[in-house]
Amino acid sequence: AQKVTQAQTEISVVEKEDVTLDCVYETRDTTYYLFWYKQPPSGELVFLIRRNSFDEQNEISGRYSWNFQKSTSSFNFTITASQVVDSAVYFCALSAIRGSARQLTFGSGTQLTVLP
Partner 1 sequence: KAGVTQTPRYLIKTRGQQVTLSCSPISGHRSVSWYQQTPGQGLQFLFEYFSETQRNKGNFPGRFSGRQFSNSRSEMNVSTLELGDSALYLCASSLEQGARSDTQYFGPGTRLTVL
The residue ranges that bind partner 1 (CB under 8 A) are: 33, 35, 37, 42-47, 50, 91, 93, 95-97, 99-109
CA angle 108, 9, 38 (to 5 degrees): 60
Q: Which is nearer to partner 1, 11 or 13 (CB)?
A: 11
Least separation in angstroms between residue 116's CB and partner 1 is 27
Q: Are 23 and 94 in contact (CB under 8 A)?
A: no
Backbone φ and ψ of 89, nearest 5°: -100, 130
Between 72 and 108, whose beta carbon lies closer to partner 1? 108
CB-CB contact of 51 with 69 (8 Å): no
Residue closer to partner 1 (CB basis): 85 or 101: 101
Residues 6+ apart with CB under 8 A from 18: 78, 79, 80, 81, 82
Min dist CB 37 to partner 1, Å, is: 7
User: Least separation, in Å, of the C-beta of 33 and partner 1?
Assistant: 6
